[in-house]
Amino acid sequence: MRWRSKLGAPVGNPLAERCQERVRDLRLPPGEKLTIGELCAYVGTLRQRQVHIATLALPSAGPHGLWVSTDTLDYIFAEERLVPVHQQQVILHEIGHVVCDHDTSPVMTGDASRLLMPSLDPALVRRVMGREHGDSEAELEAELVGSLIGGLISTWNVHPTWTVPPEAREIAERLSSLESPVARDSA
């Protein structure tokens, strides 16, 4: 029998090893693979904070995915116009941030921050983390944890429908209303 690392991290890469450990610590149920919706429910149970996924039209200048954390819940918003496989990657990346419990301070910079942050009620939202193509350690960690989890869950259910739960409608409407900030400004 040949030993093979299940998650295949390069030896001697501390970030990769840490990510593997995080994923191992999730102890995803063996056997039938979870769908991404079931994964969120599972992570929510572990954290004792529900994780809701919702897809919506996000501002085109902003990130494709957002993790919005309120006092009681976590929301993962993903761009609804992405092809399913890309959408799943975006959601997994955000789940990576959730699993790693990344810093509570907003990390968005530049256009995404200017577009989104001023419109979000700070009393309602504790943190917003957007998917950016940055190379900060948190981004790399989220990306790697997300892809490791992606290898362990089912890709069968690639066309789920995620609707915005009633309690997240206010946030979602604010996000969606930023869809054409330039047009709105010049109106």
| Residues binding Zn ion (CB under 5 A) | 131, 139, 142
- Closest contact distance (angstroms) between CB of 101 and Zn ion is 13
Which CB sits closer to Zn ion, 132 or 171? 132
- Closest contact distance (angstroms) between CB of 131 and Zn ion is 5
Which CB sits closer to Zn ion, 106 or 181? 106
- Closest contact distance (angstroms) between CB of 184 and Zn ion is 27
- Residues 187 and 39: their CA atoms lie apart, in Å, by 43
Residue 138, judged by CB atoms within 10 A of its CB (0-12, 13-18, 19+), counts as: middle
Which CB sits closer to Zn ion, 26 or 138? 138
Strands 127-130 and 65-69: antiparallel
- Closest contact distance (angstroms) between CB of 135 and Zn ion is 11
Which CB sits closer to Zn ion, 22 or 131? 131
Would you say the C-alpha torsion 82, 87, 89, 92 has a positive or negative sign? positive
> In the 3-class helix/strand/coil scheme, how is 152-175 assigned residue by residue?
CCCCCCCCCCCCCCHHHHHHHHHH
Tokens describing residue 56: 């919506």
